[in-house]
Structure 1
Amino acid sequence: MSDREKPRTDGRATLAEFKAFLAERGDIDYLDAVFVDMCGTVRGKRFPIEEAEKVFTSGVHMPKSVYFFDVTGVNEDILGMGFSDGDPDGQAFPVAGSIVPVPWASMKQAQVLMTMQDSDGAPLNLEPRVILANVVAKLAELGLHAVTACEFEFYVLDRERDRKGLPQAPINPATGQRETANEVYGITELDGFMALLKDIDEASAEQGVPASGATAEFAPGQYEINLNHEHDAVRAGDHAIMLRHLIGAITRKHNFIASFMAKPFVGQTGNGLHVHCSLLDEKGNNIFNNGTDEGSPKLRHAIGGLQATLGEAMAFFAPNLNSYRRFEPNLFVPVNGAWGYNNRSVAFRVPAGSHSAMRVEHRVSGADANPYLVLAAILAGIHYGIVNEIDPGDPAEGNACDSMDESIPFYLPSALKRLRNSTVLREYFGDQYVDVYAETKMLEFDKFQRAISPLEYDWYL
């Protein structure tokens, strides 16, 4: 078993671990020390091999603000952090078990995931990965741990825009024709992009990311790739971040663009991030399973908690202005807090399957969301529902996505206001993180609003 396949302890990766990686994989030219910011973007520093050892002996100094950059990569002096305080560094250390090769790189490269400490040596509570770990710890206090799996939808796009400057579907390498049909689960659509999908599969295996299979989705050039279930929710977040990152990198190598934008096309389906979750007790028993098709009372309580926290969590599930374009009736996208069995029109679906695999599929998030924060919000809702024994009401039957629930903030400023005023999620994410996140995304929205769109010229000039 290689180092990258061993269970992660979330301790610090040592120099010995790095040397063992080199002994197994061979020498490298560069090492990337990678960080994941608030928006789920992978950032970092690249070290030549001559300097790589110091990453494992001394760590890496990076501005703490790397964790609250907006989507443009800018720190807007959030709550006095940035220009006001001199933008101080924090010390970051590599995560054990996260050293992996970078198979798409033009040179021999490896990467390692970094996590940052606060000045007192404690985990930095501005880091999304740490926020998720804090929520996981609350479940552990109940003797529970989550088994989770993420599913990403994304578009493969042509590198060239159309004559109007809009994104367009790619030309299928097998047919030489531009994709135009909505062939959900189509095999022909997969055949044309098998070289790309094969490289994604192989890169995932090289990086220890447990991706499993691809399907053609509801729009031309749209695909879904799933991750296998993972017993460590923090590691599941790592896998989700790295899968999205490597899909983008491999797609660029094939001269296409991968887009996880929630709604890149009017009139076409959006990109979702669906999360499957069950809870195991200390004996490994699934607490959602009581031997019946309906599941246990704790399953209902978990769903009740997800309903109760949905409004507060929307700013995490839908973090960008574009994210809210995805929510429309009758598109198999949740527009209310309905739940049900084997029903894709609800927000919280209990999939068909064996009793032992009883779980909730959370269908609200867009593919543009930060997986760490999505998982944290989901697990917080589940914890809240179980502790408070919240009843979700009756399961929906038939089409549950035909009417919008006006109590849910389906607009970014409204969602950020709801988050600022949150009572429940502040207990899980902490006051500082809620305030920093809401301020960062609101300033990002204000920046967007200051730009004049082409449509404004078309309508008003």
Structure 2
Amino acid sequence: MTLSPSGSSIEEAEEFLAAHPEIEAIDIVLSDANGIGRGKIIRRHELIGLYRNGRHLPISILGLDIVGEDVHETGLIWDQGDGDLRAWPIPGTLKPLHGTTPPRAELLMSMYSLEGVPMSSDPRHALKRQVEAMAGEGLFPAGAFELEFFLLDPDMSAGVRPAAAVLDGRRSDWTEVYSVDHLHGMQPLFSDIYRAAEAMGIRAETVISEYAPGQYELTLDYRTDVMQAADDLVRLKRIVRMQARRHGVTACFMAKPVEKYAGSGMHFHVSLQDGTGRNIFAEAVEGVWTETIRHALGGLRQTMGESMLVFAPHANSWRRFVGQSYAPVSPSWGVNNRSVALRIPAGEVKARRIEHRPSGVDASPYLVGATILAGIRRGLAQRIDPGPETTGNGYEGTDDLPMPRDWREAIDRATASEFLKEALGADMHRTFTAIKAAEHARVARWIADVDYALYLHNV
């Protein structure tokens, strides 16, 4: 018997099969650098063998671009002969999928060498590496991601427009922010999302109608294990997409799908605990910030510019950053202020945390989490001062720590960043930046409709 390097056990598979005799197949899912689920659908009888021996998958699966084509510059394709590595189950992630016909389950996987060494271009290992480094320093991060997304009409012939209510077909092109009555029209879909999340052990919580027509937000329960927080986000995105499709609408996780409306973020709330479970961000006197939270803010501010490619990884991601849009345009910090990049939310002192706001919903939660934890670690180690708090409108004024102006500059800064190389690991850094450079080249070659609109009859 091969000992699983992920800590998975055959007993988990045996107990699951016994408890779910209806399950006929299992989606085995590995997240790549873009957060896309890659893998296979196996049959029920294959599950025990997978838990016993892992599953061979080609190394190139982690060197793919957004459309699933090889990026040779990653060094993961022909440099390696596109040999097989071995994927192993992530303990606790074998769960039934709600509403599938025939009944299926889902299992998250992580990649290792044939000898059981963590594969260094697997994004999940990048986050785990930072979590373990923090544990070695006596610190234990806790957190949760927020999920913003659009529900769109699948018929794109008339352009991008919000999906009609699945309850009665009513359509609204208004923003409808915080409208409870508007939510009622999508209640059958959200009920299925909640049922699917519950079946997977995901504690999905509040849903709101967000600040654009057809935009919504789901919050997740705060986890004392940020690995689980990232897994929750990965799985919830798949749940929303699957359940939306069942109801005849399209779930959209682009950062900016509609030009004139706000984009979709993936804010990460994070705090630090010591070995006793005490929140070390919590101040003794309310409003008198601890040195710990100030240094954490300082590290996040200092490293944000060179890390923006992780938080905004695609061409479309950069359309989200405009003034007065609830997306930050500078590495500012503030208290109870949604115009800044790093927000200390209002609330009980014991729940003190930092809300990291730059990331779009199109980013990988594993890479986002790894980069944020590394930034906090740097701030604490170097005792970095965050500078003065931003009050009022964070979109006004300038900052002495400039952000990249566009996707190309973000790629260049990330590629040259020694901090990001340490945060992600050298191999993950090379893989990620090579994929982004290849995707930029693809977009740069594309003759878009705007070219014809501007130049066809005018030059």
Matched, 1:160 2:160: no
Q: Count residues in correspondence.
A: 451
**Aligned pair partner of 1:30 in 25, 36, 46:** 25
1:388 corresponds to which residue? 382
2:203 corresponds to which residue? 210
Matched, 1:235 2:235: no
The CA deviation string for residues 278-320 of structure 1, in whole angstroms up to 9 with x for no partner, is 0000011111112222331110000000001101110000000
**Aligned pair partner of 2:396 in 382, 402, 415:** 402
1:246 corresponds to which residue? 239
Is the Cα contact below 8 Å between 1:333 and 1:401 reproduced in 2?
Answer: no
1:286 corresponds to which residue? 279
C-alpha deviation, 1:404, in angstroms: 6.5
2:7 corresponds to which residue? 12
Is the Cα contact below 8 Å between 2:266 and 2:359 reproduced in 1?
Answer: yes
C-alpha deviation, 1:113, in angstroms: 1.2
The residue type equivalent to 1:241 in the other structure is V
Aligned counterparts of 2:342 and 2:232: Cα–Cα separation in 1: 22
Moved more, 449-458 or 395-404: 395-404
Aligned counterparts of 2:337 and 2:143: Cα–Cα separation in 1: 19
**Aligned pair partner of 2:174 in 157, 181, 195:** 181
The CA deviation string for residues 339-374 of structure 1, in whole angstroms up to 9 with x for no partner, is 111111110000011110110000110000001111
2:373 corresponds to which residue? 379
Moved more, 136-145 or 419-428: 419-428
Aligned counterparts of 2:452 and 2:234: Cα–Cα separation in 1: 38
TM value normalised by structure 2: 0.95
Aligned counterparts of 1:404 and 1:177: Cα–Cα separation in 2: 44
Q: Secondary structure at the match of 1:424?
A: helix
C-alpha deviation, 1:403, in angstroms: 5.0
Aligned counterparts of 2:254 and 2:132: Cα–Cα separation in 1: 31
TM value normalised by structure 1: 0.95
2:356 corresponds to which residue? 362
C-alpha deviation, 1:337, in angstroms: 1.0
C-alpha deviation, 1:420, in angstroms: 1.1
Is the Cα contact below 8 Å between 1:156 and 1:256 reproduced in 2?
Answer: yes
Is the Cα contact below 8 Å between 2:63 and 2:72 reproduced in 1?
Answer: no
The CA deviation string for residues 199-257 of structure 1, in whole angstroms up to 9 with x for no partner, is 10110001111211200001111000011111111111111100111110100000000
1:222 corresponds to which residue? 215
2:319 corresponds to which residue? 325
**Aligned pair partner of 1:67 in 56, 62, 66:** 62
Aligned counterparts of 1:19 and 1:394: Cα–Cα separation in 2: 56
C-alpha deviation, 1:27, in angstroms: 3.8
1:299 corresponds to which residue? 293
The CA deviation string for residues 404-437 of structure 1, in whole angstroms up to 9 with x for no partner, is 7582113111111111111222222222221221
Pick closer, same or farther for the CA change 1:96–1:206 going to 2, 3 Å: same
Is the Cα contact below 8 Å between 1:118 and 1:124 reproduced in 2?
Answer: yes
The CA deviation string for residues 248-268 of structure 1, in whole angstroms up to 9 with x for no partner, is 010000000000100001110
Aligned counterparts of 1:111 and 1:313: Cα–Cα separation in 2: 32
C-alpha deviation, 1:119, in angstroms: 4.2
C-alpha deviation, 1:33, in angstroms: 1.5
Pick closer, same or farther for the CA change 1:10–1:386 going to 2, 3 Å: farther
Q: Secondary structure at the match of 1:148?
A: strand
Pick closer, same or farther for the CA change 1:168–1:434 going to 2, 3 Å: same
Aligned counterparts of 1:240 and 1:67: Cα–Cα separation in 2: 20
Moved more, 418-427 or 353-362: 418-427
Aligned counterparts of 1:220 and 1:79: Cα–Cα separation in 2: 39
Moved more, 385-394 or 432-441: 432-441
Matched, 1:268 2:261: yes
C-alpha deviation, 1:175, in angstroms: 5.6
**Aligned pair partner of 1:350 in 336, 340, 344:** 344
**Superposition misfits of 4+ residues, deviation over 6 angstroms:** none
Is the Cα contact below 8 Å between 1:342 and 1:350 reproduced in 2?
Answer: yes
Q: How does 1:23-172 map to 2 (within 5 A)?
A: 23-163=18-158, 166-172=159-165
The residue type equivalent to 1:196 in the other structure is L
The residue type equivalent to 1:35 in the other structure is L
Q: Secondary structure at the match of 2:418?
A: coil
Aligned counterparts of 1:448 and 1:80: Cα–Cα separation in 2: 22
Aligned counterparts of 1:61 and 1:411: Cα–Cα separation in 2: 39
Aligned-residue CA RMSD (Å):
1.6
C-alpha deviation, 1:396, in angstroms: 0.9
**Aligned pair partner of 2:431 in 424, 432, 436:** 436
Is the Cα contact below 8 Å between 2:334 and 2:389 reproduced in 1?
Answer: yes
Matched, 1:191 2:184: yes
Is the Cα contact below 8 Å between 1:329 and 1:404 reproduced in 2?
Answer: no
C-alpha deviation, 1:24, in angstroms: 2.1
Aligned counterparts of 1:113 and 1:346: Cα–Cα separation in 2: 34
Is the Cα contact below 8 Å between 2:167 and 2:188 reproduced in 1?
Answer: no
Aligned counterparts of 1:212 and 1:262: Cα–Cα separation in 2: 22
Aligned counterparts of 1:336 and 1:325: Cα–Cα separation in 2: 15
The residue type equivalent to 2:80 in the other structure is D
List runs of 5+ in structure 1 lacking aligned partners. 1-8
The residue type equivalent to 2:38 in the other structure is R
Q: Secondary structure at the match of 1:273?
A: coil
The residue type equivalent to 1:133 in the other structure is K
Is the Cα contact below 8 Å between 2:6 and 2:88 reproduced in 1?
Answer: no
